[in-house]
Chains A and B, each alone.
Chain A
Amino acid sequence: MSKEKRMFLEALRRKFKEAPEEKYTKFYIFGAWRQSKRKREFMEYSKKIAKQRNIPMYNPELHLGAPLGQRVLMAYRMSNTDIYCEADDLHFINNAAMQQMWHDIRRTVISGLDAAHTVLQKRLGKEVTPETVNGYLEILNHALPGGAVVQEHMAETNPELVKDCYVKVFTGDDELADEIDPRFLIDINKQFPADQAKQLKEVVGKRVYQVCRMPTATSMSCDGGTMARWAAMQISMSMIDAYKLMAGEAAVGEFAFAAKHAEVIEMGTLTPWRRARGPNEPGGIPLGYCADMCQASRVKPNDPVWVALEAISMGAVLYDQFWFGSYMSGGVGFTQYASCTYTDDILDDFCYYGADYVKKKHGGFGKKKPSWDLIKDVATEVSLYGLEQYEKYPACMEAHFGGSQRAACVAAGAGVAVSLATGNCTAGINGWYLSQLLHKEEMGRLGFYGYDQQDQCGSANSFSWRSDEGLPFNLRGVNYPNYALNVGHQSAHTGIVSAAHGGRGDAWTTNPLIKIAFADKNLVFDFTHPRLCFGKGALREFMPAGERTVIIPTH
């Protein structure tokens, strides 16, 4: 990409219908909230609801001082797509694709099968063959959604309600994989480019893992902590059925222990007292896991920038919109802290600029070891470039009207570039921190009240190794102390992890099993193209799972 072209200009023209370079405009003439199709729709609903329930509801006229919409309520372009939508369409409550991405993550549990097979063979004297495994998987695909297999007279779930629930397996052993019923197999050879498949098969070896997807309806009614328990119960029951075991013998406890504890990999670990949530909730999901869940790396392995940007959009929704925006703050207004990273092609522009700079100055991706000189050079240049775009194009500044949005995008460009250059995401995050400090000094302003807490601590904590500071960046997440209440960061942090490994040509960043588990076409959300999928959600073209149509009155 040449310096003269800017990826964001088209989006800016569409947003404002004025030249992006123009410094003056008009305000107060847009009819306030009435300029927005979405808000008009909201108002219609609100009037009806108020009448039905006799309690007033949504009313944008109540905005303190003046109705919302004294300036253009601008449209948002989903980056790298042709989709335009309103800000409201990106609120996670209004976007079914965002909800489904989260449900697909939360309802996933990976569980090793080898220990169970050892119990069967060594303790119970049963034969385990590909045929018996296929038989077991068929039973589990009946049991996991809520079908009874051992006890009599059990209440069961309506298949239509839980149709997104299933189990699949994967292995690094091609011969064994060939003998698994393809309906139950995540086929590494088919899902991944050859080089990535080779890396993944090597690390998995002959081991077999099952990927359980509990129903979205369960995810919506219960919580992340439910998932491993739900899976373990049904796994144990299915083992009893498949291998004709006695239901109450001690050896069965070993299945339960394996499935619930010893062999299980949850997407997230539980979080402490003040932000307490169980496992498989966003607070416990490391950045590297999120980067691995993103499957863009299978689509364009040679474009690690695009891959990082797709991963960033997932991080933005998961960490900023769900976790910080609602779980943690209890607030409802974090959407645009996050959406700045995946809309209007602004961050795309900064990241590709950084990638070009790394290629020109540092010989390509992953070619240099981390060094102070490199971090200083790359992070400074990309930060200055980003800041200058906001100053050259007032429409760009106005699009990112809050400092936190600008800070996240400029620093993300810098961090991704350092990651690409070094293949080391801890160096990448140090580049991010330098960017934040430069940004504060350049603009004399940065983000919201509490924005740069982690950025002030960040330089010192990048390479610290004391008790609650040092951790490879891949494994940090939103429960990491400095990051635990700091919106507008972790979205892009996901991309910093992704870029380091993408630049190196790695098949995964942190956990190969998670990378494989999400290479699954039966998932409801499309993890290969998250931004496109969120865009479809915004356009109301995305069909989620867990709908209750069959058990509620026709409406």
Chain B
Amino acid sequence: MKKYKDVVDLHDDHGRLVASNIPVAALSPLVNPAIQKIVAYVKQCVAVNLQGVQTALTTGEVGGKWSMLRGRSTKVDLVGNAEAVARDLKETLQVKPKDDTEVKVLKEGKNLLVTVPAARLNAGVEYTTSATAVAAGLCHVVIDKFNIDMWDADLVHAAVWGRYPQTMDMLGGNVVSLLSVPQQNEGMGYALRNVLAAHIAMITRKNSMNAAALSSILEQTAHWEMGDAMGNFERFHLLGLAYQGLNADNVVYDIVKENAKTGNLGDCVKSTVNRAIADGVIRPLEKTKSGYTIYTTNDLNKWNAYAAAGLMAGTMVTCGAARAMQHTPSVFIYFNDLLERETGLPAVDWGRVAGTGVEMSFFSHSIYGGGNPAVFNGNHIVTRHSKGFCIPCVAAAVALDAGTTIYTPEKLSGVVGEVLSEVPELREPLKYVNEAAIKIKGEF
């Protein structure tokens, strides 16, 4: 990792100053302990729908929609015995006594939040270890504890694992990780980008600032994993994460506040330009005959970070005013169009956000696509083009929606979002990442 001189002021989700002059490097996924913990939790935490397992066993409805096995049924009271199941599952998963294994019973036994010990992940190379360990462990617990005989063991497998291994993933299963199976990743290093915006909104309990932060952490961290945040491109991502996702220097919050009552997207563009000029990020280069001023910069990466923060603010103002998520692709295209026409400088991600907006508008508004913004993630052929700058805005917009869609985030996320919102670092990432950065600021 290169050395960077950049320092930023950290703010909380309400725009209150938390600390000044923190090295931006302290926000890097390579060193920030909270980001690393968040990533670890994403890998280690698994949601179990215990009620789902019980229902599947009772009804024989396993392995996906309308898959109903006639004559197959086993009655097991998992929910009623959730505490005991949790205790046994913990013992099964634990590598050493008092290690980081955790099994938490939620919703009166209907759900479990399982943290698989890091030792299990460290003993392998795939993040799927968590899901496989929990699924396998749960099967053992159910079969042992409830004396399931050989003739019904397959049904337990299907109730837990779904249709796997006829399918590549756990289709219709009741063990869910935030991360999808590697075969579903668009390319190398895409795992952290494969998280629905709906999950993010639900995990952060629809606090749009935290939704933006969590999504930005996952999206931008993925770019280190993809090999993108390297050399001269590392600072591009680092500043992007800081300003767009983590509200560095309060740029996002300030622009939202400035336009909160009556502003529109165009006003957010103006606020962004104004702020960039005021902070010395851009300056006039020349005036054309018509009187138009072309701006320039000596720090294109910083300009990108400001533009990305403006984009986030533009999303929050537009989708916030409408309390609706569907506006996001329009914001992606036209915030950037207007910003380029206002300054003569390339907009966020040098056109890639606008491009993503073009395709996303098509997919979220027409017959060729499918789905409102809540079903989007960065691991899709429509959205992967932007290097981490779109999905955080989508997540924030989903969090701001008042209920305009039929496929709501609640419906799409199912138990995952609800269960993982119990993890404080995932629910309030801004707070924890800021605190961690303050702790390590002296290292730079």
A binding-site residues for B, Cβ under 8 Å:
272-275, 329, 331, 448-461, 466-468, 481-482, 484-486
A-B contacts, CB under 8 A, total: 88
Query: Smallest distance from the beta carbon of B63 to chain A beta carbons, Å?
Result: 19
Contact A329:B368 (CB < 8 A) given known A450-B361, A460-B352, A468-B226? yes
Chain B, 349-367, contact with A by CB distance < 8 Å: what is the 0/1 string?
1111011101101110111
Least CB separation from A456: chain B residue: B355
Question: Does B187 lie at the interface of the complex (its beta carbon under 8 Å from any beta carbon of A)?
Answer: yes
Determine if A448 and B384 form an interchain contact, defined as CB atoms under 8 angstroms apart. Answer: no
B228: A residues at CB distance < 8 A: 466-467
B334 to chain A, nearest CB (A): 12
Residues on the A chain within 8 Å of B189, using CB: 467
Let me know if B381 and A481 touch, CB within 8 A.
yes
Contacts of A486 in B (CB 8 A): 359
A450 touches B354 (CB 8 A): no
Nearest B residue to A274, CB-CB:
B381
B410 within 8 A of A: no
Q: Is there an interface contact between A458 and B358, defined as CB atoms closer than 8 Å? A: no
B368 near A331 (CB under 8 angstroms)? yes
Tell me the bound Cα distance from A457 to B349 in angstroms.
9
Residues of A within 8 A of B349 (CB): 460
**B324 to chain A: closest CB distance in Å?**
19
Is the Cβ of A459 less than 8 Å from the Cβ of B350?
Answer: yes
- Do the beta carbons of A452 and B358 come within 8 Å of each other? yes
Q: Are B358 and A453 in contact (CB under 8 A)?
A: yes
B227 touches A466 (CB 8 A): yes
Judged by a CB distance under 8 angstroms, whether B233 is at the interface is yes
**Contact residues in B for A468 (Cβ distance below 8 Å):** 187-188, 226, 384
B355 touching A452 by the CB < 8 A rule? yes
Q: B186 contacts the other chain (Cβ, under 8 Å)?
A: yes
CA distance in complex: A116, B356 (Å): 48
Type the 1/0 row for B366-390, where 1 means its CB is closer than 8 Å to any CB of A: 1110000000000011101100000
Chain A residues with CB below 8 A from B363, complex form: 450
Instruction: With both chains docked as a complex, state the minimum distance between the C-beta of A311 and any C-beta of chain B, in angstroms.
Output: 25
| Chain A CB within 8 A of B298 CB | no
Chain B stretch 146-195: residues in CB contact (< 8 A) with chain A: 168, 183-189
Task: Supply 9 further A-B pairs (C-beta < 8 A) apart from A272-B186, A274-B380, A467-B188.
Answer: A331-B367, A449-B358, A450-B363, A452-B355, A455-B355, A457-B355, A467-B227, A468-B384, A482-B355
Nearest A-chain residue to B182, judged by Cβ: A273
Q: Is the CB of A456 within 8 A of B186?
A: no
Nearest to A446 among chain B residues (CB) is B358
Shortest Cβ distance from B354 into A: residue:
A456
Q: Is the CB of A481 within 8 A of B358?
A: no
Chain B minimum-CB-distance residue to A481:
B384
> Is the pair A460, B359 in contact by a Cβ cutoff of 8 Å?
no
Complex CA–CA separation, A329 to B380 (angstroms): 15
Name the residue of chain B whose CB is nearest to the CB of A483. Answer: B381
Taken together as a complex, chains A and B put the C-alpha atoms of A461 and B350 apart, in Å, by 9
A-B contact pairs, 29 of them (CB 8 A): A273-B185, A329-B368, A449-B365, A450-B366, A451-B358, A452-B358, A453-B359, A453-B362, A453-B382, A454-B355, A454-B385, A455-B355, A456-B351, A456-B352, A456-B354, A457-B351, A457-B355, A457-B356, A457-B385, A458-B351, A460-B346, A460-B351, A466-B228, A467-B228, A468-B187, A468-B188, A468-B384, A485-B382, A486-B359
In the complex, the answer to whether A453 meets B226 with C-beta atoms within 8 Å is no
Residues of B within 8 A of A467 (CB): 187-189, 226-228
**Whole-angstrom distance between the Cβ of B373 and the nearest chain A Cβ:** 15
Do B351 and A459 touch (CB < 8 A)?
yes
Contact A453 B186 (CB under 8 A): no
B368-A450 in contact (CB<8A): yes
Point out the residues of chain B lying under 8 angstroms from A461, CB to CB: 352
Measured between beta carbons, the chain A residues less than 8 angstroms from B187 are 272, 467-468, 481
Taking the closest CB of chain B, its distance from the CB of A328, in whole angstroms, is 9
Q: Which residues of B contact A275 (CB under 8 A)?
A: 381
Give the most central of B187, B233, B368: most A CB within 10 Å. Answer: B368
What CA separation (Å) do A411 and B141 show in the bound complex?
A: 63
- Minimal beta-carbon separation of A332 from chain B (angstroms): 12
In Å, the complex CA distance between A485 and B183 comes to 20
**Interface pair B356/A453, CB less than 8 Å apart:** yes
For A329, A331, A450, the residue with the greatest tally of chain B CB atoms inside 10 Å of its CB is: A450
Contact yes or no, B226 A481, CB < 8 A: no
Asked if B358 and A456 make an inter-chain contact with CB atoms under 8 angstroms apart, the answer reads yes
Chain A residues, CB < 8 A from B186: 272-274, 481
Contacts A272-B186, A273-B183, A481-B186: A450 and B351 contacting too (C-beta < 8 A)? no
Task: Report the separation of the CA atoms of residues A404 and B382 in the bound assembly, to the nearest whole angstrom.
Answer: 18
**Min CB–CB distance A323 → chain B (angstroms):** 13
| Docked complex: B170-228 residues within 8 A CB-CB of A | 183-189, 226-228
Say how far B329's CB is from chain A's closest CB, in angstroms: 9
Distance between B184 CB and nearest chain A CB, rounded to angstroms: 5
Q: Which residues of A contact B368 (CB under 8 A)?
A: 329, 331, 450
Q: For residue B351, which residues in chain A have a CB less than 8 angstroms away from its CB? A: 456-460
Evaluate contact between A449 and B366: CB separation under 8 angstroms. Answer: yes
Which residues on B sit within 8 Å (CB–CB) of A449?
358, 361-362, 365-366
B189 to A, closest residue via Cβ: A467
CB distance from B71 to the nearest CB of A (A): 34
A319 to chain B, nearest CB (A): 15
Query: Who on chain A is nearest to B226 by CB?
Result: A467
Q: Which of A275, A329, A453, A481 has its CB near the most chain B CB atoms (within 10 A)?
A: A453
CA of A193 to CA of B421 in the docked complex: distance in angstroms? Answer: 69
- Residue numbers in A under 8 Å from B367 (CB-CB): 331
Say how far A22's CB is from chain B's closest CB, in angstroms. Answer: 34
Cβ distance A410 to chain B, nearest Cβ, rounded Å: 18
